[in-house]
Amino acid sequence: MKMMSALMSPVGRKVLTGVTGIGLVAFVIAHMIGNLTYLSPDPTAYNAYAYKLMSLGWIFYTIEILLALCFILHAVVGITIQVRRRQARPIGYKNYTSAGSPSLQGYSARSMIFTGIILLVFLVLHLISFKYGPGEAEGYIATLSTGEEVRDLRRLMTEKFHEPLYAFGYPIIMILLGMHMRHGVWSALQSLGVMSRRLSPLVYTLAAILGILVAIGFLFVPLYIYFW
């Protein structure tokens, strides 16, 4: 009970969002790198990558469960924090300006709740389209260089991103992800107490660069598929 009370305290909620946020950032980067295997000269590389993940068995499913818990906790606690902030200050400001160091309350910070909700909805649709989309039973079968027959995720990705809604909608969402990460990484490190005030502006800049690189890494593949 004491642990639950500590986690539900204002400080505890910030630490919880920080820890889950860092975990999700690590997943996002790994997922982006995996997506980029689509561009490999070897046409079987992407399906081989997906097959290796699935071959991890219980390890893979344990990671999936942990990621699901991270997403749920991060979303619920993040929304709770924003709702309580609005309740504490119900009258908004007409004009916003960046507060600068150390709070750095720019547009990315003020839009966290909105980008977070959009990303959550996108995640559900993304899972439906790809993870739970057509598989071997529907004829999506590929043969690896080793001879194994696996689900043809590469074909599914190619077909999806030849549709304008996916090809252009996905990059827009990835730009929102980059914005969310820009403030989220800095805020997580600040909440966890691993960043000094002197380093705060530098970390915020590095977080912005990371957000931009992740957005580019994700949007490059769908645009490449659509135009090439």
Of 36-50, 109-123, 190-204, least confident by mean pLDDT is 190-204
Contact predicate 109/42, CB 8 Å: no
Q: 151: helix, coil or strand?
A: strand
Task: Name the domain count of the chain.
Answer: 1
**pLDDT band, very low/low/confident/very high, at 61 (cuts 50, 70, 90):** very high
Residue 209 placed within a domain: yes
- Amino acid present at 146: T
Average pLDDT estimate for 182-207: 83
Which residue has tokens 């957000």?
211
Residue 207 placed within a domain: yes
What integer pLDDT is reported at residue 91 of this predicted model?
A: 52
CA atoms within 13 A on the CB side of 20: 20
What integer pLDDT is reported at residue 111 of this predicted model?
A: 80
Q: Which domain CATH number covers 65?
A: 1.20.1300
CA atoms within 13 A on the CB side of 174: 24
**pLDDT band, very low/low/confident/very high, at 187 (cuts 50, 70, 90):** confident
